[in-house]
Every structure is written in C-alpha cells, then in structure tokens.
Amino acid sequence: MVAGFTQLRRGALEFCVLALLRDEERYGFELVRALGQVDGLVTSEGTIYPLLARLRRDGVVETSWRESDSGPPRRYYRLTEAGRRALAEFVGDWERFRDSVDGILKHGRQG
C-alpha cells in the first residue's frame, strides 16, 4: 500500500512545485524547504532539481540567476504562461478526482 501512496505523491509533486511558483519566484532549495514543511511531501534536492530541469525543458518554468548574500548565485524559477495553464488544468482535474475518491472512501459511491 505504501508504494501506491508513493506513486500518488510523485505524480502530484510537479504540480505542487508549480503551485509554489504561482505567486512568487523561488530558488531550488527554497522549494525543497517549503515542500518539507508539508506533511507527506517531504522531498530532497535529488528529487527537486531533476524535476525543475524537466519543467524548464517542458517550458512550464523559466529561470534567472541572481546574486546571493549568503553564497554563490542562485537560479530562481518562475511560471511561464504555459505553466499557469498546466497548473489551472491540473487544479480542475484534481478537484474532480479528489471529490470522486472522497465520495467512494466516505460513502461507498462517487460524489
């Protein structure tokens, strides 16, 4: 059963990243920390950085480099318009999916 939850978490993780970028730019480790504060979404740099690279290749995020007061320059990520559309579509799909699953789990029927 744990494997099923792991797959569900992995599938939703990219959209959680997009949601964290919806209102502000963030750098990679900042995303790792934010996700680590959410129960069930604990993740590592080894998961996030390859995901961010893929999201960049897919055109849903773009990046810029900025100097840091506490070390080397940081790569900041922000949503593109394609990323905003992908997130909005996922939110609608997720709400329908969540409601359907909740209905089955709670009442033995959909909705």
According to DSSP, the residues that pair with 65 across neighbouring strands are 75
pTM (two decimals): 0.86
If you classify domain 2-80 with CATH, what class do you get?
A: mainly alpha
Q: How far apart are CA 80 and CA 56, in angstroms?
A: 9
Whether residue 105 has pLDDT greater than 50: yes
* pLDDT score at 109: 66
Q: 61-102, pLDDT tens digit by residue? A: 999 999 988 889 999 999 999 999 999 999 999 999 999 999
Nearest partner of 51 among 90, 11, 94, 23, judged by Cα: 11
